[in-house]
Amino acid sequence: MGSAIIIAIMHLLVLSVPEVAAHLLNAKPSGNPATVTQQASLLTPIVQTHYRLPEGFVAVRVQNGGHSNPSHQQQDLIDGLMRTGHDWLAVSFDDLPAAERRPAYYGVFLVADYRSLCTLLDGMTPGAYQFDGLYTIVIEQRRPKLHDVMERLWSYRLLNVVVIVSEKRANEDEERYVAYTYDPYREHRCGSVEPYAVGQYANGTWTELVRWYAKRTDNFNGCPLVIGTIHIIPCSIIERDGPGGSTTHKGIEVSQVDDLSRRFNFTPEYRISNGSTRWGFARAVNSTGLMGWIQRGEVDFGLGSIGISLSRVQHLRPGIASRFGQLAMAIPPKRPDSSVEKLIKPFSRQTWLCVVLGLAGISTLAWALFGIGWRLVADRLRHPCYTVWVLTMGGPCGALRMDSTRLFVVSLVLNMLVVRTLYHAAMFERLQASASLASELDTLEQINRAGKMYIMHKTITLFFNDNPLVGPRRIRRTLHDNENWEELLYQLSQPGSDFVVTLPLDCIKYYVQQYGNRGLVYVGKHNGITYNTAFFYPQTTALQAPFSARVLAYHSAGLVDQWARAFEDGRYWSNAKADPEPASLAWSHLSGAFYLCGTMHLLAVCVFVAELGWARKWRKASE
């Protein structure tokens, strides 16, 4: 009896299997708005049209609630994408190793609903994704709240993104795929993230596909961009017309922003970082000051003599250097030369020794030839040593006969003319050169030997803490961000200062332009370090690439240096650039004059000997 029942049940199952199989084959997948063939080619036209960089790859990510296993519909999309692009398309289903430094520029996100999308976005990191890239998002959920989706995407500053959803219109029976996007920089709709349709899927392709990913950063349509800055002259100068009055911004970096605003058609809105911590420090979390504003995306980018450092590059996104400069040591002027020192310095010690010995020899020779009275017929030069001194100083001489005396005196006058001319030229050059007033503190070793201490901003100490010649022990004081360094430079210019100040070179130049007439400071020649400043952006920005390309064009055209010249005055340093420190005249500069003088004096001696012989012969003949 039991065996008969079992046989009957097995016979019933065998008869029902074909019916169930036929039913499954003829049924449509649950929740599928289009055929399987349409699903397979849904992403292919998008990728073929826009994802075409030769070295680019597509990051395909799936998120369905708490797991990343694709649904049937999502698997069909992936299979269709891989099948049509197997010969040219590179696809990554997981983040590449950070060591490769190849963040994805193209992305395809397949999610079940809004929450799944949020989970996927929260896992995006700048090391794995380029936030200014092209992203296509397919949401399975019926009629998601697109406004919430767009707001979430904009919170990550994803500009080039298209969201594909399936929807059914009132007058249609079948659902169709529609692509939506948003543009926060649309004309007369600044800041709005309202979604609008850019195309729909029909007949195996998308409408208006070539216009999906427009370059929105080419024209901001007058929309405002929030720029974080601080008052740091001459990079960012903030001038207020009294309490409650208007605020004017100018400076080297502000000039670049003004031109960027005209080129990209945006309105700059400055947000000023005040208080004792203006620049702040960039950290992984809880960055302070202006660095914190940039990291949290509270401003679109920041400027204000922000140097490129390791921590800022790690936690922010730097642009191309806005100014190629250096951190320089502002050094005090040296003690002014006394009147005697000014008279001595045109010649070196060896040259003065040569001049003194040469004049002493000439005076001795003059006394020997004309001062001791060889014969009555010999010509006499009255007071020979005194006459040599007068001629040396450029004074006159009495009447001379056409003999060896005149030859001797003419050679001396010619020699002294050359010496005096060179002396006056060297003195004029030295008195005109402003660099001669700079103290000899051109290296860190010279500064340390002179017993000078260092004063600098706290952010600048990061560049010198590891330097064994400076280090924390030689830094006397760190300046607060709101401290008046112009007054500090004035104190440095006064006699008796025992410190040097480390500042960007542009700041020192601006001080010299404004206050050089009352207190001049100088720049050490060999103690500066490279200090390139840049605009810094949030890591999720799309502004860095177009703005950096424009700033690079400014450098190529020389505009940055031209804008910077408006905030410096080279009158005090112009001679220093041509001849940093005039050298005292050496013996080699005067040797020719003394060689010529010696030759002519030798000729005079020969003439004198001939005169003596002629006088003796004439006397014998007369006897």
pLDDT of 150-171, one tens digit each?
A: 999 999 999 999 999 988 776 7
Per the CB < 8 A criterion, the answer to whether 405 and 572 are in contact is no
State phi, psi for 492 to the nearest 5 degrees: -65, -35
Non-local CB neighbours of 600 within 8 Å, separated by 6+ positions: 407, 408, 410, 411, 414
Please state at what angle helix 404-432 crosses helix 384-392, rounded to 10 degrees: 40
Higher pLDDT: 574 or 225? It is 225
Higher pLDDT: 69 or 375? It is 69
First-residue to last-residue Cα distance in the chain: 188
Q: So what's the pLDDT on residue 486?
A: 87
Residue 622 pLDDT grade (very low, low, confident, very high; cuts 50, 70, 90): low
Q: So what's the pLDDT on residue 478?
A: 79
Instruction: Examine the pLDDT at 617 and tell me if it is beyond 80.
Output: no
Element (H, E) at 318: strand 317-331
Higher pLDDT: 439 or 406? It is 439
Pairwise CA distance, residues 226 & 239, whole Å? 18
The rounded percent of the chain whose pLDDT value lies above 90 is 27
Q: So what's the pLDDT on residue 83?
A: 83
Degrees, nearest 5: CA angle 452-455-458: 150
Task: List, for residues 437-489, the tens digit of each pLDDT value.
Answer: 677 888 899 999 988 999 998 888 888 888 888 888 888 887 777 778 888 89
What is the spatial order of strands in the sheet that 58-63 belongs to?
91-92, 58-63, 104-111, 129-139, 161-167, 176-181, 196-202, 205-206
Which of 117, 109, 175, 158 shows the shortest CA–CA distance to 138? 109
* Cβ-based burial of 235 (10 A; exposed 0-12, middle 13-18, buried ≥19): buried
Least confident of 22-31, 73-82, 447-456, 473-482: 22-31
State phi, psi for 314 to the nearest 5 degrees: -70, -40
Q: Would you call 537 helix, strand, or coil by DSSP?
A: strand
* Cβ-based burial of 272 (10 A; exposed 0-12, middle 13-18, buried ≥19): middle
Dihedral of alpha carbons 570, 571, 574, 580, sign: negative
Task: List, for residues 289-342, the tens digit of each pLDDT value.
Answer: 999 999 999 999 999 989 888 899 999 999 999 988 888 899 888 776 776 777
Least confident of 25-29, 400-404, 451-455: 25-29
Task: List, for residues 202-246, the tens digit of each pLDDT value.
Answer: 877 888 888 899 888 999 999 999 999 999 888 998 888 767 678
Q: What is the mean pLDDT of residues 273-290?
A: 87
Pairwise CA distance, residues 301 & 295, whole Å? 9
Q: So what's the pLDDT on residue 402?
A: 58
Element (H, E) at 557: helix 544-557
Q: So what's the pLDDT on residue 433?
A: 61
Q: So what's the pLDDT on residue 184?
A: 93
Which of 343, 355, 338, 339 shows the shortest CA–CA distance to 586? 355
Instruction: Examine the pLDDT at 577 and tell me if it is beyond 50.
Output: no
Chain Cα centroid distance, residue 226: 22
Pairwise CA distance, residues 491 & 316, whole Å? 37
Pairwise CA distance, residues 442 & 592, whole Å? 35
Pairwise CA distance, residues 187 & 303, whole Å? 27
Higher pLDDT: 122 or 409? It is 122
Residue 134 pLDDT grade (very low, low, confident, very high; cuts 50, 70, 90): very high
Residue 62 pLDDT grade (very low, low, confident, very high; cuts 50, 70, 90): very high
Q: So what's the pLDDT on residue 22?
A: 38
